Amino acid sequence: MTYQQFLKDPQGRKRYWARGHVGWTRFRQARPNTAHTALSDLERRGVIAGVITQNVDGLHEAAGSRNVIDLHGRLDRVVCLTCRTFEDRNDVHERLTRANPWLTGASDRINPDGDTDIPEDALDNFVMVPCTQCGGDLKPDVVYFGENVPVERVRNAYAMVDSVDALLVAGSSLTVYSGRRFALHAHKDGKPIAIINSGETKADDLASLRIDGDVGETLESLI
């Protein structure tokens, strides 16, 4: 779903929130893996300055990383499209549960983006909850396709890259330009780039060191 579709299509928003509501129960149970904990440990030891992540699951923070830039936002936070007030996703989830008790357990399958499949005809009965401050429409605080990453967030990410001597790319193919641009920026400044990833990345030609393998296992071997 694109940002423009989310804004202009009320039925599309309803579909997202119905499916996302069911999927959230399981999505929020995700826990950090060995890669998350290894990066947190490396930051604590002063080996890395911080993390710029394209993921929206908040698992770097859950693992203990302190200096994290969530480039594409976080699914555990909701923003009002009218007044820009933020609300915890769990609070919105509880309000949706009270408004739609019939929807609990409607599906056991969760998709990679955190939502699930709900029959289209069931959407007619779904009740969306509004912003508690102004009654406006709500959106998960993540960057959709067709939506720009906030300028200040991009500026902070560039500043982090500028502050270090080298760049480590861990567990990303850098297919999306919003993440790849920081590798291009580091390369332009003559900084070495190390890449750890299972499979090729869009920045392999920029790398001084390239390791094709499991990120968690590789990082743990460095600690």
Cα within 13 Å of Cα(6), Cβ side: 18
On whether both 85 and 126 belong to a single domain, the answer is: yes
Q: Which of 123-132, 148-157, 162-171, 175-184 has the lowest mean pLDDT?
A: 123-132
Show the DSSP H helices in 78-141 as ranges.
Answer: 89-99
DSSP state of 121: G
Burial class (CB in 10 A: 0-12, 13-18, 19+), 188: exposed
Which two three-digit tokens encode residue 175? 């297919």
Let me know whether 127 and 199 are in one domain: no
Integer Cα distance of 127 and 29 in angstroms: 24
User: Rounded mean pLDDT of the chain?
Assistant: 92
Q: Are residues 98 and 25 in the same domain?
A: yes
Residue 170 domain boundaries = 34-71+148-220
Instruction: Give the residue from 81, 82, 58 showing the smallest Cα distance to 68.
Output: 58
pLDDT score recorded for residue 106: 54
Distances in whole angstroms, Cα of residue 151 to Cα of each of 14, 80, 132: 29, 19, 27
Q: What's the CATH number where 79 sits?
A: 3.30.1600
pLDDT above 90 as % of the chain: 83
Say which of 21, 36, 60, 72 is annotated catalytic. Answer: 72
CATH of the domain at 213: 3.40.50.1220
Stated pTM of the model: 0.90
User: Are 82 and 179 in a shared domain?
Assistant: no
Specify whether the CB–CB gap between 62 and 154 falls below 8 A: no
Could you tell me the two tokens for 97?
């549960």
Cβ(7)–Cβ(1) below 8 Å: no
Q: Is the pLDDT of residue 114 over 70?
A: no
Is residue 185 flagged as an active site residue? no
Q: Taking the CA atoms of the chain, what radius of gyration do you get in angstroms?
A: 19
Domain boundary among 88, 117, 142: 142
Number of domains present in the structure of the chain: 2
Same domain, 58 and 162: yes
- 88 shares a domain with 16: yes
CA dist 192 and 208 (Å) reads: 6
